[in-house]
Amino acid sequence: MKLTNGKRLERLGDRYANGDISRRSFLSLTAAAAAATGLSMPWMGRALAAVSEVRFDGWGGTVQDAIDKYAFQPYSKKTGIKVVQGTFGDENEIISKIKTSSPGDFQVVHSSGVDYYIKYVNGGYNSEINEANIPNLKNVAEAMIAPFRKITPKISAVPYDYGTTGIAYNTKVISPDEAREQGANLLINKKYAGKIGGFADMATRVWYAALQTKQDPNNIQDMDAVWAKVREARDLTKKFWSSGAELMDLLSKSEVVVTDAWSGRVAELQQQGQPIGYLDPEKSYGWMEDMLILKGSPMAECEELVNFMLDPATAIAVAEGQSYPPSLDPTKVQLTEKIKALPAFDPTGTMNSITFADPLYWAKKGDAWNKQWDRISKGA
């Protein structure tokens, strides 16, 4: 039976409502059917000019491997849209590239939460997401979304995972009791001089120096004392690492026996059977990561990709693969025992167990503190 164009549009609507076809395919097919009848709407040209790929830039390593395997490959198989991937070691690196590029050259970034979100917003690189195109957003913990809404009511980023920068230690050298007793001061214990590591990042160095001087990292009153501790740590540290892969290598080869460390990378080492313990001292550095859609991106396709990534089955598979808890609210979505056992997991969905950086406070201080850390790291 030959279908009229009206009936064909009705059938397409039913298939889209049932989830049988993607939003992109729905728009393209309805535009084609409507064009055949002589109808013309402003959106039809864009729909017919189908997007064939989306650009993604992330942290590489085991994290991006998990995203690629459990999210991007199934997404491309389902939609026919290829995800072209790039990597970076430091997010300031990708921001510098965005500054000198054209809108749309970079599209989705696996970004480091609200403190970096402010940088994109201040640079005018943020988009405005149509949340109706990301229905799985309803499963994300509201406590993670709220900080983004405070900066831009119409958000450009969707929280995706979280973790902590706690303290990793070799259990053959340092006992759990010693780690708990010393807390943040374990990173400046002279007994382990030359066997200490640390992330080559101003925020982490200042955060732990604040804890070592018994100050609130979000309200530091004595910066001279903080910089003194940063210098002390510099002189005791064998290696400041700059990537998760480097962190794991230093710990697995016992080149360092204690270091601040990303919770997910420590979980990976523990799953490999490495003798690595992990401690989150009081007010240890908590963070979340998001999928940021940049201005100039093909919004419908990027929103469709992010929605696919937030599907509970996808997000859980990625979380287990990368060893970081997902942004899904555990009071709304049943998570696995493996996820519940991950370091930093918050079973309440409130994120009250994690101390995040105050984005406005740190944005205000960031430039000056980065310059000072740069000087200290070079020996000043």
The reported pLDDT for the residue numbered 234 is 98
Is residue 126 within a helix (H) or strand (E), and if so which, with residue range? none
Q: Per the structure block, which two tokens stand in for 370?
A: 């980065």
> What domains can be seen in the chain, in order of their start residue?
5-47 (no CATH), 48-162+288-356 (3.40.190.10), 163-286+360-377 (3.40.190.10)
Give the separation between CA 287 and CA 344, rounded to whole angstroms: 10
Nearest to 198 by CA among 113, 285, 109, 267: 285
Bridge partners of 108, per DSSP, are 56, 293
Assess contact for 181 and 373: CB atoms under 8 A.
no
Question: What's the mean pLDDT in 175-199?
Answer: 98
Structure-model confidence comparison of residues 243 and 38, the more confident one: 243
Hey, what's the torsion of the CAs at 260, 264, 265, 269, to 10 degrees?
110
Q: How far apart are CA 251 and CA 237, in angstroms?
A: 14
Q: How far from 108 is each of 53, 291, 303, 304, 345, CA to CA, in Å?
A: 12, 6, 10, 12, 25
pLDDT band, residue 43 (cuts 50/70/90): very low
d(CA 150, CA 147): 5
Encoding tokens for residue 339?
């996820």
Q: Considering only CA atoms, which of 231, 237, 206 is closest in space to residue 376?
A: 231
Neighbour count for residue 206 (Cβ, 10 Å): 26
Spatial CA neighbour of 168 closest among 21, 274, 30: 274
The DSSP symbol for 2 reads: P
* 237-260 pLDDT tens trace: 999 999 888 999 999 999 999 999
Q: Among 88-102, 180-194, 298-312, which stretch is predicted with the lowest mean pLDDT?
A: 88-102
Burial profile 39-65: b = 16 or more Cβ within 10 angstroms, e = fewer: eeeeebeebeeebeebbbbbbbbbbbe
Q: Is pLDDT at 45 greater than 60 in this prediction?
A: no
Counting Cα atoms < 13 Å in the Cβ hemisphere of 238 gives 18
Reported as half-sphere exposure (CB side, CA atoms, 13 A), residue 160 has a value of 33
* CA–CA dist 74, 68 (Å, integer): 9
**Contact predicate 186/170, CB 8 Å:** no
In 3D space, the residue among 62, 57, 89, 59 whose CA is nearest the CA of residue 319 turns out to be 62
Q: Do 265 and 272 meet the contact criterion of CB atoms below 8 Å apart?
A: no
Query: How do beta strands 237-241 and 258-262 pair?
Result: unpaired
Sign for the CA dihedral angle at 229, 218, 115, 267 comes to: positive
pLDDT score for 3 = 46
In whole numbers, what is the pLDDT of the chain averaged over residues?
Answer: 90
- At residue 38, the pLDDT reads 55
229 has a pLDDT exceeding 50? yes
Residues 6 or more apart in contact with residue 49 via CB below 8 angstroms? none
Contact 125, 15 (CB under 8 A): no
Nearest-Å Rg of the Cα atoms of the chain is 23
How remote is the C-alpha of 174 from its chain's centroid?
30
- 151 vs 337: CA distance, rounded Å: 34
Q: Which residue type sits at 201?
A: D
Lowest mean pLDDT segment, chosen from 47-61, 73-87, 231-245, 360-374 = 47-61
Q: What is the mean pLDDT of residues 215-224?
A: 98
Strands (E), the chain: 53-58, 82-87, 108-111, 157-170, 196-199, 237-241, 258-262, 276-279, 285-293, 355-356
State the average pLDDT over residues 52-57. Answer: 96
Closest by CA to 31, choosing from 20, 40, 22, is 40
